[in-house]
Structure 1
Amino acid sequence: MLKKILIANRGEIAVRIIRACQELGIATVAVYSEIDRDAMHTQIADEAVCIGPAKSQDSYLNMQNIISATVLTGAQAIHPGFGFLSENSKFAKMCEECNIVFIGPDAETIDNMGNKSKAREIMINAGVPVIPGTEGAVKGLEDALLEAEKIGFPVMIKASAGGGGRGIRVVKEKSEFKKAFETAQTEAKVAFGDDTMYIEKFIEDPRHVEFQILGDNFGNILYLGERDCSIQRRNQKVLEESPSPVMTEELRKKMGETAVKAAKAVNYRNAGTIEFLLDKHGDFYFMEMNTRIQVEHPITEMVTGTDLLKEQIKISSGHEIAFKQEDVKISGHAIECRINAENPEKGFRPSPGQIKALNFPGGIGVRIDSAVFQGYIIPPTYDSMIAKLIVYGRDREEALNKMKRALGEFVIEGVDTNIDFQYKILNNRSFIEGKYNTGFINKEFNL
């Protein structure tokens, strides 16, 4: 087992990783920017090292400083969490060259699956169903329009290096294409430094269903059920649940085995997620692979009883996965609400500031993943998510009732939050009946 791990992240995921390490008897090193000096992750780790000023590019994205902190503290491995450097193949390669274990897949896998058009080609060759579209990146506007006409409108223009909903445009008619393509391309260049694009058929009213997979260094790859992530605002996930309300045992097996096939196509190791679009006819299509732990991983942990962070660390320590596919059982129902410091009434404007009063909900089957505390000052510099509220019930009805109760107990004063908005989602008739898709928030709340 690894003896010391540096966590190249901040906030609730850094706290989550540190806790997993502590339970495995592993020493931890936190890194922090100057504005995060008093953050929770710096306080609960065994050591903490400042890696730069507040801006991400000067600290949490500063590869050289993070590698230096790892060498300085004698850490053997780096856990990147999610976001920041978690899917940066250059950073994974740097770790390898410095004889540091990167807790995640290798640089080649990150490269192959991080480029959406390349990933699509790999999946086609592996026999994994993909959304009809271009086999690789388009050469420019004229080529893109030609391909869009072949596929048939509506289409999606997508950035090859995309993520987080950026560099994506839906085009319903040919007359809208030129402007949408140029806008998406510009956005992609700014966000990712890469303006290569590809075109896909737009699947109307789909569900976003993803499968958690684990792969080790001995060729074992397993799937641990699905998460329904269809409740989204502008391609950003808001609430997730597991299992999906529309899932059957037969469909789960079919999608899960396809997810394993996709992972085997790139010899995947560590934790990852295969994301699918599931249409109203029960047909599903590969969308992308996330080569890291997901924000919504806790709901899979709740329904399978598997600690995914510990599994990541064990795999990176050279251990074989200790269970088989037939041992994975889905039991009960879990829901996660992302709690953000933002104002839904004002266009979801971020709301940094000091938390003046705080009460976390509790009770059986209620989990909080957070790094905030009373008196904590939420900086304006980073993502607005401040907590994840996760509940577990024997069935979906119990989980829904428990989440409503827990949201009612959740008090944060001093900043605006989306708690009331989450409560509105849970009380929506279509959501209660499980009749929703990725257009739910836009349709029900006109947002």
Structure 2
Amino acid sequence: MAETGGPFYPCGESLEVCMNRIRTLTLVVMIGALVAPACASPMVTAHDAAPPGDSMVSLDGGGEGHVTAMTDAAPGDATLTAALDVNTYFDEFFGTLCAWLVRCEPKLGAAAFGEVSCHPLRREAVRAQFLAGLSAGTTDFEPAVARECLAELSAATCNVASVDLTRCDDAFVGRAFEGQPCATDLACREGVCSVGARCPGSCVVQDEGDVCARPSECARGLTCRGGSCAPPATSGQPCSRRTDCAYPLACGAAGACQVPAGPGESCATSLGGDLCGGDDVCRDGLCAAGAGVGSACSRTAPCAPGGRCVEETCVATGVAGASCEVGGCIALHACVGAVCVPLPHRGAACSAELPCVQGACRDGVCAVLPAGEECDGDVQFGECEGFCRSGTCEAPLDEGARCRSSSQCGPDLSCREADGPGRCLPACW
């Protein structure tokens, strides 16, 4: 049984890992097949030492400084006439991103990826993470750049990766330069925050040829390719995923970067997304328009962008609040009364038709489980007050205990290297 994190740590890491996915992995993914390396990375940087989401996040109530639950922005509506404040930006960004995921799912297989950015619990946790950086004075928000990011994302095709959306990466800027003190990755202008046994950490930037686990560790203009920082691969150069290649190249079946295929051209299995250009999909081995809503579909004859194949028929895919048919909602949402609704989290009503994304359904309410209770480790935002290991909930680890991720540690502790293995130590934030 795989180990899983607590309520706000879905891959056994910190919230910052999830935001780094959004910033540095393919927009196909904005989390997906390329996410595994991020989740598996050791506890050597502050992405695993970021403040726990449940200490900052609230989805109801109000008051000064309160982070309210966001609503979906109109797809593509990135033209704002009023001053762009950070909360407006997050609303617009996630609304536009979710619309992108819905539209591009048939090309990119994003059904398993939209869950990270489109469920309110995830989005509010990410929002709170960035607001904490702004409040601490370690991160700056750039409204003008944020506007450009929204325009980039609104116009993005299904072949675009987040590493190509440079303005989105620059909407938040850390104040610490290489070698300067930091507590989290967000505090660094470039690279990541490396935190050891003592606080604070320092910003580290990997240069060309240096070892890396994810693109955000590398200097600007470089990506993490084959375990080391390197310029994006050009046409004909080796690749193992879309983000290895320079935009707009795709990673072909032979493991080399190539120009996306045009209509009628072969689209044998690609590495890291649909090999076809534009809105074409790979249909029976050739690039062509996908099947429309109501038309027949299959694994080899996918739906056109905006549709999903449900029982061999294309249905429209929707986000929260959209009208739907059964099976037609984005991941971690359900079609209830012909409307897509987010699956419930801690404290919300649940049922067999509305399973919990956090905790377990007990007497019709989602409740996180105490130590000793059985857990199955596949709940997106965790089942346990502590963490799930080998099918049983365990209590959070005490200071000094060996750990694999911060999600295992108790309040105000993070998993950091301490003369070798990771241990739960007082958090740096």
Q: Same fold per TM (> 0.5)?
A: no
| Greater RCO (CA < 8 Å, at least 6 residues apart) | 2
Task: Give me the TM-score of the superposition, normalised by structure 1.
Answer: 0.25
Task: Give me the TM-score of the superposition, normalised by structure 2.
Answer: 0.26
The answer to which structure has the higher helix fraction is 1
